Amino acid sequence: MNYNFADIRLESVPMGRDLLIMITGGEAHIGAASTAYPAAGGAEVQTSAVPGHKEHVLTESLAKRAAAELSRTVTLVMGIHYDGLTREEIGRITQRTEELMDEFISSARHHKEGGINPCQH
């Protein structure tokens, strides 16, 4: 298979001052969820993963980064599935999710005074 991963997307929903972020692609599902919250020196994170799924490798670092940079509690739910991925394709998925989070954090900072609106990236 030759995937371009253009269907991987990030959606966010504000929950008071906290955020729910969902990243999905391919066959969307819930593979892992990480909740990160500001703590001394950055952020702490707690993760729950569905057995056999690998998304927690990404959700932990991305949620922790978002919580630390935005100074708010963030729950990141991720489910990305494509059949028969190569190591190179997994690397491209990692890069794509990191780029989406970069865009989201940048956008969230620009909207900080007015709160964060639900958005898609």
User: CA nearest 12: which of 95, 100, 80?
Assistant: 100
Relative orientation angle of helices 87-110 and 56-70, to the nearest 10 degrees = 20
In a domain, 120, yes or no: no
**Residue 59 is part of which domain span?**
9-112
pLDDT digits (tens, 9 = 90+) for 40-96: 988 999 999 999 999 999 999 999 999 999 999 999 999 999 999 999 999 999 999
Q: How confident is the model at residue 119 (pLDDT cuts 50, 70, 90)?
A: low
Q: The domain that contains 69 carries what CATH number?
A: 3.30.230
Q: What is the mean pLDDT of residues 98-107?
A: 97
pLDDT at 114 over 90: no
The answer to whether the CB of 74 falls within 8 A of the CB of 18 is yes
pLDDT at 2 over 90: no
Considering the chain, what percentage of its residues have pLDDT values greater than 90?
83
In a domain, 106, yes or no: yes
